Structure formats: C-alpha cells, structure tokens
Structure 1
C-alpha cells in the first residue's frame, strides 16, 4: 500500500545518502556542502516533500513556528501589525501561523489549544473583546511557552506587552476638536474591560475637563464600533434631538457610519459637526471630507512585538524579561475636524 507522505528517507534513498545528511541539508547546516543542499532541495521538490513540523519540534524542541492571534485580519491595523511581526520573524527563519478569534472568547480558547497542539515556539496575541477569563493564556505560560500581548492586553497576566498610548491619542484628538470650536462632543466607545477603550474614554474625559467642559454621560455611547453601529447610533442621536457639535469615535469604522448618516440628514461636516476617528484605516483619507484620525504606528508595533517575543524566546526565564512597551500615536488632522475650507 503506497504511503501518501514523502519523507527524508525517500530523499536519502534517491540520492544514496543518509537521512541525517538530508535533515541537515534541509536545515541549512553549514557542515553540508552547497552542492549536496541543492541536490536535496531538488529531489524534495520533485517528490513533493513537506516537512513534518510537529515531528521535527518533538525531536529538536523547536518548531520555528509562532502563533499569532488577532480579532480579525481584514483591518488595516491588524494586517499591518502582522506584517511587522512577519518581517522580523522571516529574517530569523521563523514562520507565523495567523489565527482570527473574531472577537469570540470560545474561538480564542480553541485557537490557543490548536496552536499548542501544533507545537508552536510561542504565541503573540491581541485579546478578543469578549474575553474575561484568561486561563487559556495562563496555560501557555505554565507550559513555559513565550507569550506576548499587543494592543488589547490584560493586567491579569505577567507578560510582555506592546501598546500605544491610547489616552494620549484620544486626549490630543478631543483637545483638537475643542480648539476648533466643539463644546458638545459625542464619544463612541466599546467594552470598558478592554484596555484600549478604557484609555481612549479616559483621554476623552480628561480633555473635556482640562478645557472646562462638562462630561455628559448621555454623550458616551457603547457599541461594537462597526460601521452599522455608527450609522445606528448617529441616527438615534439625531432623532433624540440631543445637542452636539462633534463626534469622536474609538474606531474609524463607526465614525464612517456616522459621517454617512450626518450627510443623509443634511448636516454639513465640518461646518456644523466636526468628526474624528481612531485607527487611520486607508478609507479615512478617501471620504468626503477626509476624516481626522489617530495613527497607531501598526508596523512599528508589529516589529517591536516580534522583538519582545524573540527576547523572551532567547531568555533563560520568560518572566525575567517581561516588559511593557508604550508607543506614541500620531493625530492625523484632515478636513472633517477643522475650520479651514
């Protein structure tokens, strides 16, 4: 009965060399000549040899695979962070496995389990909105596997973390709206247990207070911050006759929805209402008017996250080098929030 999977023994048989020589050649061992490496790679391609990473990991203790968990990969922020991680990982001959939690706790738990079963050398993650219990991440640490969190983090774990200064980004944005004449600013936010939304709301409130303006709880609206949420909330605010002259959202997607509804209801942006988002998604520069937003330095965040991971991987004790890195975001001012025509 013919076996389905080609092995290093098949390559060795064809070239009349030992399996250990094939293994060393495939792993680019300097003891093996370039000529032998070329022959091995040629035969491996011919017989469609695929390395068994799990078996290799069991033998060597290293799979050279990193699990990366994001809420969703179709957002510019997360895809750019992944790019930053992958660039450094690839330069060190590591590959990444990208998994999406879709902001679902159960899916996140299952993903962590699957990555552990795949014998990854470590995990990099941004926590789902619905995650409260972090026992699945504690399991990673208990196994002695490096874990780094970025963007959405938790203080319940002693791990390396890479974030931006969300408070600073929100404060700068709201202060800018106030300097351009806004006095009643609506704030779109989400689950306050998630660090980024807590910090952005804190920045919003501090900017109001420092400018002598009241924090009105009626202007703070919670949702999932999707485009349809922005549309729904904006229409409800307009229908409720709530007095407002500005909108600051913790997400570019919901501010895009708000802009659509404002225009549909005859509001002029920025003449009557000034708006700003958070994330610097590509579409924000193409809207009419272009939307003011906060750039989260996603590619640098990815690279620094990867650097933190490899520091842990190469350390004697993961906990001994656990650290928190805070990056400074940048306010990108566009026409949606200024008095300039």
Structure 2
C-alpha cells in the first residue's frame, strides 16, 4: 500500500483538483463573502469526495478561530445540566460550532485541569457552571486575562467580572415557602448546602424572607446543611426525627434531597402531604412520578441554555474592546403537585 493512500487530504489537494489557489479553497470553506456560491459548492463537493477533515488547531493558529466551545458542568447526569447543555449545543450547531463538554464532578482540581486543557485546545470561548467546592476562581480569571469569552450560568460568583445567566433563586424559594405557609405550615425545615455558592445562599435567603414576611420566626434548628444528595436528604430528616424536632413541612434546595426525605418519612409511617408537606427545587423528571408527585421549582433549563448561548455568541462576535458584560435573570416557576396540597384531589382512573 502506498504512503499516499494513508496521507490525509489537505486544502492543497482540493486546490490542485479544482485548479484554484489554496487561499480560495480556505475562504470557500469558511464562507467568505467574496467567494461565489458556485465556487463554494465545487469546493465542498471535492472536500467531501476526498473526505477532507479540517485541522481545527491548525485553523485556529491561522485564523484565531477554532469553531470550538468548551462547556464545563459539575455533572451531565442531572436533567437540569443536560438540558442546559442541549440548549447551548443546538444553538452552537446552528452556527457551525462544535462543543467540548467536560464534567468537574464537583472537584476543584479537576475543574482547574479542565479549564487549562480547554485553553490549550484553543477553544473560542468557555461556558461554565461552578462546582460546589470552588472557592478559588483564579483559573477562570486566567481565561478572562487571556481575552477568551467566558459566560457562567446557574452556579456563578460575584468575584469574577463576567456575563452570567441565572434564575431568580430567591424568588423561587420565596414562592415555595409562601405556598407551604398558605397550606397552613408553620414549622418548615430547609435543607441547604453549607458551601455558600450563589444558588444555595439565594434559596436560603428566599426561605428566611418568606418566613419573616408571614410573621414566622427563623429557627436555626430547622435549617439543615448537607451535600444535598438523596442519602443526605434521608440522613437529615432521620436526624430531625431522632432529635424529636417538630416540623410540618420541608423545603429542600434540591429535588434529590427531598426525594430522600420522602423515603424516610414513608419508612417512619409519616404520610405526605397529610403529616408533612414537601417542596423541592429543580423539577427533575422523577418528581412527577413519585406518589404523591413532588411540588418543585422549575429552573427553566432549556431557556437557560438558549439565553446562555445567545449571551456567549454576542460576546464572541465582538472584539474585546466592544464587549460588554451583563447578567440575565430568568423567572422560575413553582410547579404545584400533590406533595404540598392539603386536600389533593386525585381523579380516579377509569377501570
């Protein structure tokens, strides 16, 4: 087998076959306005025939554009993050951009390594949601200092001067707790996270503001901190019950923790919603399949992905001196289901 067959086709091969210059081929592949539609079609046809694959890194070195976007999320196995990523990806693909999706797994060291790897890969920009354990933001500041567009979504920080897309976590929590109070609850447990990243601090603030607005005291014994996973919800409620702390409702800053809480209540013979009413946060798919279905706050993940992508490309399409930073706050929606309603009327299914 000759070595020529193993050689990857290049722009030079396309140019030679069409008897045009390599620069014309390059412009045609990048949709340059001075290239005619007929030339562009011919170049694309030959590129497909030769199975030409552009070298993104080489292209980035020449043009400064890699057509790659780095997306960093804590995890992709949560409906919220996967939906946001899908919204970003669809928007990017429509503009002929590819995305590199990385998970930090809530590990600060891995988050730092990922950001450095994306910079080395010459991505055109980075979209990220912070890990729970991130308190040092110097790796993101490095992105900013290099002039690489950076947009944060959902989990953000005020310590970085960047564009952000968030939901109104305070309002979502305020409405959730106000709903429980309207249902007659007066001792409402709040499951939260000890690390004061924006989403948990804002949800805690919404919780306390709703209590005060309704003339109820904020009781430290009813505010329980954990990592907000399913097991944490189980452990938190189990400890409350073992300590004999009275409560008639739980508002959790995470659907996973509220699911764990529901399991323990059921094991202890406490009925939801008759004995204890529950509200979560996130509108994960499983919340509509529990018995009873769980009331929760919808974070508007698909719109968040679209707005995040719009914000990013708005930055990308301007040179550094023209870029302006903005924070977009989306409105959450309280999805009321059977776990929080005093007299839930469930229609009988036909036999």
State the TM-score, normalizing by the size of structure 1. Answer: 0.93
**Aligned counterpart, 2:241:** 238
Shift of 1:320: 5.0
Paired positions, count: 341
Equivalent residues of 2:133, 2:195 under 8 A apart: no
SS at the partner of 1:66?
strand
Check conservation: 2:151, 2:164, Cα contact below 8 A. Answer: yes
Show the 5 A alignment for 1:50-69: 50-69=53-72
| Residue pair 2:132, 2:195 contacting (<8 A) in 1 also | no
Aligned ranges 1:193-272 → 2 under 5 Å: 193-272=196-275
> Which residue of the partner structure matches residue 122 of structure 1?
125
What is the Cα deviation at residue 340 of structure 1?
Answer: 1.8
Question: Deviation of residue 285 (structure 1)?
Answer: 0.9
Question: How far apart are 1:190 and its partner, in Å?
Answer: 0.8
| 1:251-330 aligned within 5 A | 251-317=254-320, 320-330=323-333
84-93 vs 125-134, which deviates more? 84-93
Cα shift at 1:195:
0.5
Aligned mates of 1:123, 1:331 — CA distance in 2: 31
Q: Distance in 2 between matches of 1:271 and 1:318?
A: 59
Is the Cα–Cα contact under 8 Å of residues 189 and 249 in structure 1 kept in the other structure? yes
Q: How far apart in 2 are the matches of 1:304 and 1:169?
A: 19
Secondary structure of the residue aligned to 1:84 is helix
Conserved? CA contact 2:71–2:127, under 8 Å: yes
Residues 315 and 321 in structure 1, CA contact (< 8 A), matched pair in contact too:
no
The question of whether the paired residues in 2 share the 8 Å contact of 1:144 and 1:318 is answered with: no
CA positional deviation for 1:69: 1.0
1:176 paired with 2:183, answer no
CA contact (8 A) 1:312 1:318 kept: no
Q: Equivalents in 2 of 1:4, 1:289: separation in Å? A: 62
When structure 1 is superposed on structure 2, of 140-149 and 86-95 the one drifting more is 86-95
Structure 1 residues 4 and 250: CA distance shift in structure 2, 3 A: farther
Mapped pair 1:89 → 2:92: yes
Unaligned runs of 5+ in 2: 345-351
Once residues 253 and 329 of structure 1 are traced to their aligned partners in structure 2, the CA distance between those partners, rounded to angstroms, is 18
Alpha carbon RMSD of aligned pairs, Å? 2.0
Partner SS for 2:191: strand
